[in-house]
């Protein structure tokens, strides 16, 4: 059985060596280590590993050097898996990483303490799968709920707006929902008000409401 070949990149030497020792004992070959983004690129290009495990924040500025190095590796070596470790949930960085496609993962460093879970993440990402830290998933779900402009609408108002998006008139909506045209007009008026779509000379509020519906998460 061919052993996975991994490169570790983290400026925390103790953490890096601890991970290396654990992976080696788990029949994973650590073919290189790096303490900053530039060194990571050099090692990755030289060793062509199956997977790179990298901290987001690395020297010299301790901002996004690790993420930037991961972006370069993905562009130059698309077959190399990328498993990013972070001390905190950083949704924007995580979404940028996940947009890169297959073979990506994002774990909080606190998750590394569960050695079996970490090992499973390493193997999954190296084989082209994706791994997301549960804390990140919760944050993404919460963020989506916060940002959905349609949350202010009732279930019936969402139904009316969906039919508006299909191009139906108030009469058509009334027939579809088995209500009066006057009831539909009240729903439409409520929808426009809740979405903050005030009357202007340039914009048609009904069209803007439909656009809001189509662009919602």
Which residues share a beta bridge with 5? 29
149-215 under CATH 3.90.650.10, yes or no? no
The Cα 85–Cα 121 span in angstroms is 11
Q: What is the DSSP letter of 58?
A: -
pLDDT tens-digit profile of 156-165?
Answer: 998 898 888 8
pLDDT tens-digit profile of 166-194?
Answer: 777 888 899 989 999 999 999 998 888 88
| CA distances in angstroms from 210 to 98, 146, 178, listed in the order given | 29, 20, 21
Query: Do 82 and 74 form a contact (C-beta atoms < 8 A)?
Result: yes
Helix, strand, coil percent values for the chain (each to nearest 5): 55, 15, 30
- Sign of torsion, CA 170 175 178 182? positive
pLDDT at 2: 81
pLDDT tens-digit profile of 99-149?
Answer: 666 788 888 888 787 888 889 889 989 988 888 777 776 776 565 555 667
Strands 28-34 and 51-55: unpaired
Phi, psi of 128, rounded to the nearest 5 degrees:
100, 5
pLDDT at 204: 64
**Residue 27 burial (CB count, 10 A):** 10
CATH code that applies to domain 4-144: 3.40.50.2300
pLDDT tens-digit profile of 22-80?
Answer: 999 999 999 999 999 999 999 999 999 999 999 988 888 888 888 889 889 988 999 99
Domain ranges of the chain: 4-144, 149-215
pTM recorded for the entire structure? 0.64
For the chain, the average pLDDT equals 84
- Within 8 A by CB and 6+ apart from 96, the residues are 67, 71
* pLDDT exceeds 50 at position 203: no
């Amino acid at each position: 059985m061919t052993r996975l070949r991994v490169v570790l990149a983290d400026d925390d030497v103790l953490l890096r060596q601890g991970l290396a020792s654990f992976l080696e004992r788990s029949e994973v070959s650590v073919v290189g280590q790096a303490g900053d983004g530039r060194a990571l690129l050099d090692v990755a290009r030289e060793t062509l590993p199956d997977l790179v495990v990298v901290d987001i924040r690395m020297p010299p500025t301790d901002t996004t050097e690790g993420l930037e190095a991961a972006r370069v590796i993905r562009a130059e070596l698309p077959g190399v898996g990328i498993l990013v470790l972070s001390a905190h949930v950083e949704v924007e960085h995580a979404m940028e990483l996940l947009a890169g496609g297959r073979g990506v993962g994002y774990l909080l460093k606190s998750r590394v303490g569960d050695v079996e879970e970490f090992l499973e993440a390493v193997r999954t990402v190296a084989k082209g799968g994706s791994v997301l830290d549960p804390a990140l998933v919760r944050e993404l779900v919460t963020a989506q709920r916060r940002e959905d402009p349609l949350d202010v609408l009732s279930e019936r108002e969402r139904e009316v707006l969906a039919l508006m998006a299909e191009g139906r008139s108030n009469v058509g909506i009334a027939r579809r929902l088995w209500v009066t045209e006057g009831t539909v007009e009240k729903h439409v008026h409520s929808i426009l008000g809740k979405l903050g779509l005030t009357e202007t000379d340039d914009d048609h509020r009904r069209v803007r409401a439909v656009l809001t519906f189509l662009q919602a998460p």
